[in-house]
Amino acid sequence: MMNPGGFPNRGPVRGTVFPGASGKFGQAKKEVAGAKPTTKSAPSSASVGKKAPDDQVKSLQQQIYLLELETRFLRNNKTTTVKEAEADLVTLRNTYEDQLHQTKSALADAHRDAHTLDARIQTLTAQVKSLEAEITQLRDDARKTAVDHEVALEAKDNEIQRLTTALARQKQQLEAAQQTVALGQAQLAKVAGDLAVVVAREEKGKAIQGDLHAMITTLKSQIETKDRQLHDLAAVHQQLKDADADRAKLTAEARHLTMARAHDADLLRRYEAEVRDLMQDAAKLASRAAKADADVARAQQVHAADLAAKSTNAEQLAQTVRQLMDEVDALKAAAVQRDTALAQSRDKLAAAEALEMKLGDDVAAERDRADHEAETAAHLRVEVADSRCEVVKVNERAVEAEKRERARVQEVEAARAEVAALRVQVEALTRKTQVLGRLEQVMKELPVDPLQELRRAVLEQQT
């Protein structure tokens, strides 16, 4: 059961006496206490005229009983209400103090969290700004690096093109040099062949010259012998036979030389005239020998005619010797010219060999240069690949920095959301604190002794 004041009833409290209780309740109690002996002292055999006082006594007794009941009810109700009000007031005060303490703690925690979050927000803002500056710097560095790498790539591409062009040009020069070397080698081979031919011809000419010298020496000795033996006709005939034998030997030697020179057509053509001359000389000598035989035959008949013929033959032989000497001089001059041509050919061969060596060195140098340029081009290609890898890494770092920036921005937004939630909680706690303050003010405005209000209410009820 709940009383009209909203506090629960706790049952009647017996023996409760309100201090300072006075008024109608005390007077009524005194009247009742004073009236009981009068009712007991009344006679049992009352008359009809005394019936009215008995009714009064009964009504008074009823009123007294009702008043006692009402007094008990009021006493019990007031005691229960006051105790319940005091207990509820203590509970409210304890609850208010607990809530106030919790609110203050929550406010302190909220302020502390707010300061922490503000510091964290400032730190995150500074980090975001530093990250933005770092990202801007990284982007600028990436742009600069990309521009530098592009410029370097263009320069390296130009360098590679230049090296490729130079390499192609050097390859062309190398091919031209190789062709020149091949031509030089062919010329050297031709010169070497010509030189070998000239040397062979020179050796053959020297052999022929030696043979001619031997023949001239033999002819000189024979002429001297014939000059000494002109006076001896028999000896002259024998000498003519020896001359025929020598002529046969010379013819055999000429044939042998002709057969030996058969493999060299050019030398054979060159020396055929000389052989023909020698053959003509031999024929002349043979005719002269025949003439000498005829002269000897005639000399046997006419000594003077023989002597004249022999003198003529001697002069002719001397003239032949002079002609042979002239031919020998011509052969010597030809040998000198051949030596000069051989020296020139040797000089040309040496120059060609030097040119070949120089061309070989140039070719080797060009090959080394081409290899070096190829290595440089390969190195430049590797550097270009490394530069592209660095550009990719810089872009990846920029992307990672952007991701970190997004994550930190999300953290800042989450922190701001937490701060907003804490601010909402702080506002709610502030409103609760205001409500509790108002409640405390209302509690302070309540009267100190609520029994006065209860008494006032009872009096108003009784009146």
Taking only the tens place, the pLDDT of each residue in 129-166 is 777 777 777 777 777 776 776 777 777 677 777 777 77
Taking only the tens place, the pLDDT of each residue in 222-239 is 666 666 655 665 555 665
Which of 5-9, 107-111, 115-119, 272-276 is least confident?
A: 5-9
* CATH topology classification for 182-384: Helix Hairpins (1.10.287)
Highest-confidence segment of 99-103, 185-189, 246-250? 99-103
Average pLDDT, the chain: 67
How far is the C-alpha of 400 from the C-alpha of 406, rounded, in Å? Answer: 10
pLDDT grade for 21, boundaries at 50, 70 and 90: very low
Q: Over 50: is that where the pLDDT of 50 sits?
A: yes
Please report, for the chain, the start and end positions of each structural domain, with discontinuous segments joined by +: 182-384
pTM attached to this predicted model: 0.29
Q: What percent of the chain shows pLDDT beyond 70?
A: 47
**Residue 310: closest CA among 329, 290, 295:** 295
Taking only the tens place, the pLDDT of each residue in 120-135 is 777 777 777 777 777 7
**Residue 242: closest CA among 300, 285, 211:** 285
